A and B are shown apart, each in its own frame.
Chain A
């Protein structure tokens, strides 16, 4: 079953017949079985499904963290599947902000330094403007007062908010998050979700994996993944 293929040629995200087969195990395992998907700018997409259904594999195709065995991944017209590892890293740094389940802040850098790191890597913004831009991002996520602390001094929710600010550092059009609330209590998770809604309202496109049914029912578009296929594509008005 394929999801909506109605998008124009200029869709922000466009996956065509994406197949992913892992052959690291004893028998090759196909985790994605020919997925077609388009996402338009400004959409808030949730990937929903049971553990092992292929959600992480799918979002990794979009971020370029992993490559498809066959099929095409086009993001703003860029053939992600064809980029070299090195080009991919820099492209990703500028185009997609990645948020992890376990935050993954670098422990020896302070909060604001963590936010500035992607700017250094991708040479985005003038060097002297980087700190003020990072501070404004931290203000957006309400973490400006903790800017000079080390990550270890923060709670999980606070770390995830810093991680979101870091994902926004190079002002990418797309945010990709794999279970960003999976490691947070429900109150904190709610705060993160509200933050995402604000970012979508501000024009970002977000693709988020979640298994939290409550949150799943609130995204604008819910894609249900089962056994490596998108079985349902539900849009809320």
Chain B
């Protein structure tokens, strides 16, 4: 029996009984600017990702089969990642001018992304924006507005500072997250300094996945990884044997260090190699005696 297409398997935030059903919407992905799916729930912003089944996997749910085997994952995302590219564009900064101060309604207005205005509902939005923007408060002029009106203009320096903090926060938590630890090819012989650089570099790359190309470049410029570079170049030096094998054709070329490809281990092999056996029982206990 095949389940209908209206059903999906998701991992996501708990929805309190009395609240509305979560609503999904298309918003510009901070990295590419193309539409991706997001959720706003109880004033929080969530991104939706999936583990793609590529048409090759299905779910068994009790006695039914759901043909779409993807797993959807709805996770919180710092709203500033969403806002930074938007703020960057709407301020209309040029070489002559720092750009415009704009209110929330103007910032989150787009005919291409009609859902953008939902972002105004986010909890404490103006406090978030203040971390990366210059803020002006003005008495709201005509139009019947009551009290003060805040306007925001993205500031590059504050944004970079914020981004570096983000990288640091992730780097600090790094060693407590197993999948992150496994993603770096540590060997025990790696110097502690290299490890620190490797962690920071990895955190930087992950944060940059949520940045546009230009912001990713600006952020990368704030970092140096001298120890890692040294390590890379040591691994790539040609050996004496390589010199012997050079063909006649490249005699005159600059001696480029050969790239030594590390044999890629499959995910399964990597997992096995890193697997901790603490707490695992020996095979012989597998055949335990049945209590009579």
A and B part of one assembly: no
- Chain B residues with a Cβ under 8 A of chain A: none
Q: Which residues on A are within 8 Å of B, measured CB to CB?
A: none
